[in-house]
Chain A
C-alpha cells in the first residue's frame, strides 16, 4: 500500500523521521457546568504525549470524555486545570485539520468549495491548493462529485468530503472525532486504507477518537484507553504490528491478540 514517490500530495517533510513530542498533556482536568448548574467532571488528570508523525488512537466507552480530549487539543474547549505544552504551537486555521463526528458541510457550497474553505480562509493563492484538493478528492473517489451539493451525496460521501476538507490546507496535525462511525463497513475499510496512504505520503501526526477496537488496532501506532466518568487514562499501548498495513495485517495473530487485550480493558 505504499504510495509511489512523486505523488503530488507528498510533503516536503519525510514521514516518521521526527520522533519528538508534538504535544504533552499533563494532569488535564476538565469540568463543565451542566444545564442544571451541577459541576460535571469530564476528564480527570489526563496525561499523555502526542508524538510527531504518529497515529494515535483514543478509545473508550461513550461518555469517557474522549471527544472532549480531542476538542481540547484542537483549541475548541478550554481546560479547567493542567497543562498542554506544544513543541510547536499550532496556528489556528493553519496547522490543524479536524474531522467532526458529523460532516458539518456548508449546504450552499459544492463538495469542492466545501473542501477549500480552510486554504481559502488562509488566503493561499488558488493555484496552490486547488490541484491538491482535486487530488485528495480523487483519492477518496469524489472526483465526479466535485461540483455536487452536499444534499446530493450519501452520508459516506459527505464524511469523505469533510476528511478532504480537513487535509486541504496541509495541516501538520489531523484530529478526527469518530470520523468513520456513521459509515458502513465497506466504506469504512476503504477509508482506513485511504487514510494510511495519506499518512504514508505526508507523515502527518494523526490523533483520532474511536470506539472501534478494530479501527484503533488497524490504524494506530499507539492506543490510549480511557475509562469513563470521569475520563482518565487507563493504559497506553504500542500496537505490535508492522507497517505498511493491509488486508493481511488482519490475519496476523498479533492483530487478534491485541484486540482481545484492548477489549478486556474497555
Chain B
C-alpha cells in the first residue's frame, strides 16, 4: 500500500456487477473485489454514503476503453486518470456521509478545480468507509490514510505533481480539521463557530484565488484550453466572493443577516467610489503597459527579420557582386535567393511539408541550383506522399534534369493532384530532339522515367517537337482498381535522349 507508482490505472472494469466500479477499484488497489463490494454495501447502509461514492466514481472514472482512447492522445498517466477528467457533477454531490450533512457550507462555496476534487473527496470518503467498520487496512488513524487515499490521485496529476502534493495535504488536513470540529460539536464541546467559519472562508477564498494566479502564470507552459480559462475566472470570482463574505461576517461581528447586508452595501459603495477615482490612473497604466509590450513585440519581430535578411539576402547580394562576371552564377544565386525568401515570406508554418507539391518544388529547386536554369512550378491540389508518389517525384526530377540540361529557356512544371490521381507535366522550350539520333546506350530516360512510372502503375509520355519537349507523367490513385485508366495514356513514342 505504500509503494505508489506501479498500479494498474483506475478504470471501470469490464467484469462488472453494476458499472464495474468495484472491480476496477479492486484492480487498482490490489484488494479482493469481494471486500470492496461488501464495503460498498455496508457504506450504503450508513446513510447512503456508499451509494453516493459509487455514483461519483461511476461518473468520474472512465471505462477501460475510454481510458485507452484518451491515453492514445496523451502521455500515459500511470494511475487514476479520472482526476484529469472534467467533472460532470458539481462538487455538492460529494458524500456528506461522515459529517452528517453539515459539510455543505464548505462544499457549496468552494469551487475547487477538477483536479482537487478527487483529493478533497478522498479524505472525506475514506472515513466513510472507516465509520461503518470497513475492514480495510489503514483503519481509522489518519496518518495512515493519507498515503492510501491522496497519494494515487496526486501522483496521477503528472503535470503539476510537485506543487499539487503540498496543496492536497493541506486541503486534506483542513477537511480533517473541519470534521474534527463538527464531531467535537456533536459531543457538546463549544466551538466558536462564529469566528471560525468566516476565517475559514477567507482563508480558502484567498487560497483559491491565489491558486488561480499561480495557474495563470503557468498558462504559458501548460497548454490550456479555453474552458480551463473560463473555469479559472469562475474560480477567481468564487475565491473573491468567499473572502468578501468572510471579511464581512467577521467585521460585522455577528452572523446576523441584516447587519451583514448593510455592511455589504456600505463596503460596495466605498469600493465603487475608490474604483471611480482610481479608474483613469489604472486605465492609463494599463495602456502604457500594453503599448510597451506591443513595442517590444515589434522590436523582436524586427530583429528577427533583420537577422534573416542578413543571413540570406545580404549574403547573396555580396556573392552576386563578387560573381558579377558570370551571368549563369548571378542568375542561379538570384533564383535560389528568391525561392528562399519567398518560402520564408509566404509559407504557412502550420502546413506540414510532406506533400507531393512540396516534394516537386524541392526537386525543382535542386535542379535549378545545379543547372542555373529557371524551373517554374505550378501546382494544383494536394496529395500526400506514398511510396508510389516517391517514384513519381523521382521520375519528375529526372525529367526536369533533362529539360534543364538539354532544353532551353524556362522549364515549366505543372502538377495536378485530384482524387483520381496525380499528373505532372514537364515542358521545356529547347529545340526538341530526334529520338533516332540518340545512342542506344543512353537509357536514362527509358529507365528512370518510363520504366519507373510503369513499375509503379503509372505511365509516362514524351512529346518532342521543334518548339520544345514535354514529359507527361501520370499516376492513378490505385492501380489495382482501374487498370483501364492506365492504358489510356500509354507511352506511344519510344523516347530517348
A binds B: no
Please list the residues of chain A having a beta carbon within 8 angstroms of any beta carbon in chain B: none
